[in-house]
């Protein structure tokens, strides 16, 4: 499939330049498809070795199928994925198996999975330069998860902060999938023998557990997997429109960057600013104002904007209005690509199928090795 010109445009048109890399051609030796194609023919016999010793560091990350992503998803994770896709052999996974621990409506899950896929591509992931796939399209990982269950003490899982949290937030649905969630996450990463995992700080306990599970496996059955290392995204936690809590779909404090401009305007105009600035003539405090903080990501002149607030030359209304227009303009090409992809689900499916197919040899080679080491065959 040829790269979509619009996708490249999205990458190259970034206001702050972090996506400039998206327009760069990919050197042949970095191309995941090139490497894996080679594995399917004459080099097939070497595939197990190739997958255990990737020539370029391989990165893996998973993202929940929460539907159309919001500003926090983009600044906190997706931008980073886009930037990394040229530096590493990257594999990105939409984790629908994980989502089943809290999403129980089949239509919602299917729709949100496709929405997330379309959005990731629209925001700059290029299926030619990275591998984008849906978790359940490579079901080998569930077998590895089961095998990892047998090396994972229950106590480790019960002590996981997210499990404790879920027990509070969904007390009527403490399903076993929640407990075993980090085991599946470990399997996700290491079935592809990825050594680096770009994640937010909130995922640190999960990644530590992945490392412990890998150590437990390696010490029982011999060195099989690399211990995955986290690569933390530098982006600060993006606060929601309420200005106090992390931007999150479940709270409903999001800025939906791929929505229609009017929706974005409404969300941004509803934002809480500096709560101590009561009168228009009061000086603002940009360091505590979420609107001012978000301006950092949408223009080089944010210091000037902050100055306007400090001196009360500008009001919160002006600053919000400017932010809304900048965000709308910044995401305009992505919004178009997103719409095109959502209008052609067959094409989207094809892209995802190709992604899953491309990494099949790695998953199969790992499972053959693991089964043998554990005495299954
Ligand atoms: N738990 C991650 C989240 O909620 C998603 C995830 C699943 C993941 N598998 C992964 C992240 C593997 C990194 C690597 O965001």
For the chain, domains (ranges, CATH) are: 5-238+344-374 (3.40.50.620), 261-330 (1.10.240.10)
99 Cβ inside 6 Å of ligand 1: no
Count of C-beta atoms within a 10 Å radius of residue 148: 26
Rounded CA gap, 294 and 15, in Å? 13
Span between the terminal Cα atoms of the chain, in Å: 38
Rounded CA gap, 25 and 279, in Å? 52
pLDDT of residue 315: 93
98 Cβ inside 6 Å of ligand 1: yes
Lookup: tokens for 243: 């200005």
Distance 61 CA to ligand 1 centre (A): 6
* pLDDT value at 205 more than 80: yes
pLDDT of residue 154: 98
210 Cβ inside 6 Å of ligand 1: no
334 Cβ inside 6 Å of ligand 1: no
Distance 58 CA to ligand 1 centre (A): 16
Rounded CA gap, 226 and 205, in Å? 18
Distance 134 CA to ligand 1 centre (A): 12
* pLDDT value at 15 more than 50: no
| Residue nearest ligand 1's atom 14 by CA | 61
In the 8-state DSSP scheme, what is residue 77? I
Whether 166 sits among the annotated catalytic residues: the reply is yes
Least confident piece of the model among 18-32, 57-71, 240-254, 288-302: 18-32
pLDDT of residue 200: 87
pLDDT of residue 43: 44
Whether 249 sits among the annotated catalytic residues: the reply is yes
293 backbone dihedrals φ, ψ, rounded to 5°:
-65, -40
Pocket test for ligand 1, best of 95, 161, 196, 229 (most atoms within 8 A of CB): 95
203 Cβ inside 6 Å of ligand 1: yes
Distance 63 CA to ligand 1 centre (A): 6
* pLDDT value at 292 more than 60: yes
Predicted model pTM: 0.85
* pLDDT value at 162 more than 60: yes
Per-residue pLDDT band at 233 (split at 50, 70, 90): confident
pLDDT digits (tens, 9 = 90+) for 125-158: 999 999 999 999 999 999 999 999 999 999 999 9
**Bigger pLDDT: 218 or 13?**
218
Distance 99 CA to ligand 1 centre (A): 10
Average pLDDT, the chain: 88
| Residue nearest ligand 1's atom 15 by CA | 63
Cite the DSSP H helix spans in the chain: 5-12, 32-40, 47-52, 71-73, 79-84, 96-99, 106-122, 140-149, 154-158, 161-169, 176-190, 204-221, 261-269, 290-295, 302-310, 316-330, 332-342, 345-358, 360-374
Of 376, 371, 374, 364, the closest CA to residue 50 belongs to 364
Mean pLDDT of 168-189: 97
Per-residue pLDDT band at 19 (split at 50, 70, 90): very low
Angle at 6 between CA 5 and CA 9, to 5 degrees: 90
206 Cβ inside 6 Å of ligand 1: yes
pLDDT digits (tens, 9 = 90+) for 242-265: 999 999 998 999 999 999 999 999
Count of C-beta atoms within a 10 Å radius of residue 120: 26
C-alpha dihedral sign at 169, 175, 177, 179: positive
Per-residue pLDDT band at 26 (split at 50, 70, 90): very low
């Amino acid at each position: 499939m040829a790269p979509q010109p619009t996708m490249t445009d999205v990458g190259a048109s970034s206001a702050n330049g972090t996506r400039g890399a998206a327009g760069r051609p990919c050197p042949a030796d970095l191309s995941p498809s090139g490497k894996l194609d080679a594995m399917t023919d004459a080099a097939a016999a070497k595939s197990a070795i190739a997958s255990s010793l990737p020539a370029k560091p391989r990165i893996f990350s998973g993202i929940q199928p929460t539907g159309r992503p919001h500003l926090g998803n983009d600044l906190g994770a997706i931008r980073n994925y886009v930037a990394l896709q040229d530096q590493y052999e990257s594999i990105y996974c939409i984790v629908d198996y994980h989502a089943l621990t809290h999403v129980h409506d089949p239509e919602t899950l299917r729709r949100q999975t496709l929405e997330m896929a379309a959005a990731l591509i629209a925001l700059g992931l290029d299926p030619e330069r990275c591998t984008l796939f849906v978790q359940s399209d490579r079901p080998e990982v569930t077998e590895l998860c089961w095998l990892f269950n047998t090396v994972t003490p229950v106590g480790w899982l019960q002590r996981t902060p997210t499990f404790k949290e879920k027990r509070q937030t969904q007390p009527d649905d403490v399903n076993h999938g929640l407990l075993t969630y980090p085991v599946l996450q470990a399997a996700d990463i290491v079935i592809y023998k990825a050594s680096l995992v770009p994640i937010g700080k909130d995922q640190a306990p999960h990644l530590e557990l992945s490392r412990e599970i890998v150590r437990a496996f390696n010490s029982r059955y011999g060195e099989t997997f690399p211990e995955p290392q986290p690569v933390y995204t530098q982006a600060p936690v993006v606060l929601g429109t309420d200005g106090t809590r992390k931007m999150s779909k479940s709270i409903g404090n999001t800025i939906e960057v791929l929505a229609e401009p009017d929706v974005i305007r409404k969300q941004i105009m509803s934002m809480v600013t500096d709560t101590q600035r009561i009168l228009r003539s009061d000086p603002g405090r940009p360091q505590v104002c979420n609107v001012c903080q978000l301006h950092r990501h949408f223009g080089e002149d944010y210091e000037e904007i902050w100055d306007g607030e400090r001196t009360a030359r500008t009001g919160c209304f002006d600053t919000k209005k400017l932010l809304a227009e900048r965000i709308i303009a910044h995401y305009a090409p992505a919004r178009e690509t997103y719409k095109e992809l959502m209008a052609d689900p067959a094409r989207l499916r094809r892209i995802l199928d190709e992604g899953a197919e491309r990494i099949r040899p790695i998953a199969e080679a790992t499972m053959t090795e693991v089964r043998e080491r554990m005495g299954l065959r």
